[in-house]
């Protein structure tokens, strides 16, 4: 195992985090928030120096890495960055403990959108830091899916593969930079359009900035407490919904549309099999919402359905999807968005493939001797290729069950443990406020242990559960 190469890239991670902290320090200075500016600048300097020292100790590092090295780096990256990102929460005194600060940072970085803080009491610099973390986290989610998870899944059905993924063995880390630049450029471009459109349609500038970063990353954290309708008009709400959907769509498809620079290629985006699944789920959720809430709240139901299916989970108005049965909302949250997107959950493409394989197996029960190949998008997929998806589904269910048990062991009642486990693993923190459990528990009432357990399952949801479970196999460590 190339330990020095992993340390080298962790050093680069520290330097990148230092740059983001420095950007936030500059923003705080522009906002005339002197104390946050000093704190962010000091943390940026310390983190940057530590990153440079880590890089300096790896002068003898190998030129290539294995898939195992990439997996170790992936897990180390997702654990380390929230630890760095938690420092401003502790330094500014908004979090009382390391567990609370780590929970807040992990929630923002994994684009989960859960928070125990009163946002109205936070300085704008910290609100910007949360939004920046969401944007950075969204880029990292898509980049790691395109590069590392695609490399680990070459023998499967290829749900992580795309035209962005062109790779020679041993070049995983090098491709992170190139692919990361492309994905970051796409998301920054989309966030800028969202910001401009929201400002033009009446949203205050700072709120438009933070919500744009939150929307394209499907993060769900807001710059003000309460419903969006208090400061976001109907047209801006629609704009926000459009970019939440773009965040939940396959980044490789979006890249193709932008690269070809033809308006007619928008039909590729809308006609994609997985994206049509998103639209169907939104339509069904809207139908259920109007039945339960009434046609008079149709607009709220429609925009909240878009937010919810994208796993951003913004609450637009007081009366909306909260009226639906909890089981419906939990199911939609666990399904999630598209592969190669910033959305969480199992991913729609996996569910579509599983149902297609299940239908084929049901047909074989009635005619055991019949040869029925599984067709998907005009291609025949061999049965062995579905093994990775069935394993993932089993692993996801197992981890979800373990999450409920762990949260229950910390003192949460069963219903609260189920909702919190689903919200954490599917990276959709607002699910807790949507479901409104009978105990009326909120993240602010969580203990440090409950926050830490929740943060752990947020991270597991982001690195894909099989990437975590494989660590418990002896063959991995023998390799």
Query: DSSP of 295-360, one letter per residue?
Result: GGGHHHHHHHHHHHHTT-----SSSSGGGS-HHHHHHHHHH-S-TTSS--SS-HHHHHHHHHHHHH
Predicted TM-score of the model (pTM)? 0.89
Provide φ and ψ at 6, rounded to 5°: -65, -45
Work out the pLDDT band at 156, boundaries 50, 70, 90. Answer: very low
Report the chain's C-alpha Rg in angstroms.
Answer: 22
- DSSP label of 97: S
Surface-to-core class of residue 231, CB atoms within 10 Å of its CB (0-12 exposed, 13-18 middle, 19+ buried): middle
Please answer whether residues 454 and 420 qualify as being in contact, where contact means their C-beta atoms are separated by less than 8 angstroms: yes
pLDDT tops 60 at residue 338: yes
Three-state SS letters, 56-79: HCCCCCCCCCCHHHHHHHHHHHHH
The pLDDT, as a whole number, for residue 177 is 82
The pLDDT, as a whole number, for residue 201 is 94
Q: Structure tokens of 427?
A: 């990276």
Residue 25 CB contacts under 8 Å (≥ 6 apart), including other chains = 36, 37, 38, 40, 41, 44, 125
Q: Structure tokens of 339?
A: 């592969």
The pLDDT, as a whole number, for residue 139 is 92
SS3 117: coil
The pLDDT, as a whole number, for residue 165 is 43
Work out the pLDDT band at 234, boundaries 50, 70, 90. Answer: very high
| Mean model confidence pLDDT for the chain | 85
The pLDDT, as a whole number, for residue 80 is 94
Work out the pLDDT band at 352, boundaries 50, 70, 90. Answer: confident
Q: How far apart are the first and last CA of the chain?
A: 8
Q: What percent of the chain has pLDDT over 90?
A: 51
- CB neighbour burial string for 358-390, b if at least 16 within 10 angstroms, e if fewer: eebeeeeeeeeeeeeebeeeeeebeeebbebbe
Q: Report the C-alpha gap between 216 and 343 in whole angstroms.
A: 10
Top mean pLDDT of 33-42, 180-189, 270-279, 432-441 is at 33-42
Mean pLDDT on 56-61: 76
Mean pLDDT on 313-339: 88
Range of lowest pLDDT (194-203, 225-234, 362-371, 446-455)? 362-371
Q: Where is pLDDT greater, at 312 or 370?
A: 312
The pLDDT, as a whole number, for residue 346 is 85
Q: Which of 341, 84, 308, 110 is nearest to 219 (CA)?
A: 110
Q: Structure tokens of 375?
A: 């067709």
Please answer whether residues 377 and 353 qualify as being in contact, where contact means their C-beta atoms are separated by less than 8 angstroms: no
Q: Report the C-alpha gap between 151 and 154 in whole angstroms.
A: 6
Tell me the pLDDT tens digit for each residue of 79-135: 999 999 999 999 999 998 999 999 999 999 999 999 999 999 999 999 999 999 999
Work out the pLDDT band at 160, boundaries 50, 70, 90. Answer: very low
pLDDT tops 60 at residue 362: yes
Query: DSSP of 244-277, one letter per residue?
Result: HHHHHS-HHHHHHHHHHT-GGGHHHHHH-HHHHH
Work out the pLDDT band at 158, boundaries 50, 70, 90. Answer: very low
The pLDDT, as a whole number, for residue 155 is 44
The pLDDT, as a whole number, for residue 275 is 87
The pLDDT, as a whole number, for residue 18 is 96
Tell me the pLDDT tens digit for each residue of 2-53: 688 788 889 999 999 999 999 999 999 999 999 999 999 999 999 999 999 9
Mean pLDDT on 360-364: 65
Neighbours of 305 (CB within 10 A): 25
């Amino acid at each position: 195992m190339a330990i020095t190469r992993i340390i080298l890239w962790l050093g680069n991670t520290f330097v990148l985090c230092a740059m983001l902290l420095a950007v936030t320090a500059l923003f705080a200075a522009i906002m005339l928030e002197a104390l946050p500016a000093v704190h962010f600048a000091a943390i940026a300097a310390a983190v940057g120096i530590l990153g440079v020292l880590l890089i300096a100790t790896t002068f003898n590092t190998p030129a290539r890495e294995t898939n195992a090295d990439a997996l170790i780096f992936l897990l180390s990256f997702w654990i380390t960055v929230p630890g760095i990102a938690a420092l401003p929460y502790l330094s500014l005194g908004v979090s009382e403990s390391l567990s609370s600060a780590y929970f807040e940072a992990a929630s923002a970085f994994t684009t989960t959108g859960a928070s125990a803080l009163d946002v109205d009491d936070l300085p704008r610099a910290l609100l910007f830091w949360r939004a920046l973390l969401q944007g950075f986290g969204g880029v990292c989610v898509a980049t790691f899916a395109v590069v590392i998870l695609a490399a680990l899944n070459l023998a499967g059905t290829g749900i992580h593969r795309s035209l962005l993924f062109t790779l020679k063995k041993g070049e995983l880390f090098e491709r992170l930079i190139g692919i990361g630049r492309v994905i970051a450029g796409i998301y920054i471009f989309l966030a800028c359009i969202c910001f401009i459109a929201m400002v033009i349609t009446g949203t205050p500038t700072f709120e438009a900035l933070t919500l744009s970063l939150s929307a394209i990353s499907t993060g769900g954290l807001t710059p003000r407490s309460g419903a969006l309708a208090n400061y976001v008009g109907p047209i801006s709400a629609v704009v926000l919904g459009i970019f939440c959907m773009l965040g939940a769509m396959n980044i490789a498809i979006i890249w193709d549309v932008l690269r070809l620079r033809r308006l007619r290629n928008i039909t590729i985006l809308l006609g994609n099999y997985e994206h049509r699944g998103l639209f169907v789920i939104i339509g069904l959720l809207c139908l259920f919402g109007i039945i339960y809430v009434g046609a008079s709240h149709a607009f709220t139901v429609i925009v909240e359905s878009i937010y919810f299916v994208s796993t951003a989970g913004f609450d637009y108005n007081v009366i909306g999807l909260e009226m639906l049965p909890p089981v419906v909302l939990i199911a939609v949250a666990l399904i999630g968005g598209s592969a190669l997107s910033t959305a969480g959950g199992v991913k729609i493409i996996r569910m579509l493939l599983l149902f297609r394989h299940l239908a084929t197996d049901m047909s074989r029960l009635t005619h055991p001797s019949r040869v029925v190949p599984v067709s998907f998008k005009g291609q025949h997929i061999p049965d062995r290729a579905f093994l990775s998806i069935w394993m993932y589904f089993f692993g996801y269910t197992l981890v979800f069950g373990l999450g409920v048990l762990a949260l229950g062991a910390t003192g949460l009642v069963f219903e609260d443990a189920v909702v919190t486990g689903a919200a954490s693993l599917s990276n959709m923190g607002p699910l807790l406020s949507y479901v409104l459990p009978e105990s009326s528990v909120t993240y602010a009432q969580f203990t440090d242990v409950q926050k830490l357990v929740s943060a752990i399952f947020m991270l597991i949801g982001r690195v894909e559960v099989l990437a975590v479970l494989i660590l418990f196999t002896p063959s991995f460590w023998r390799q």
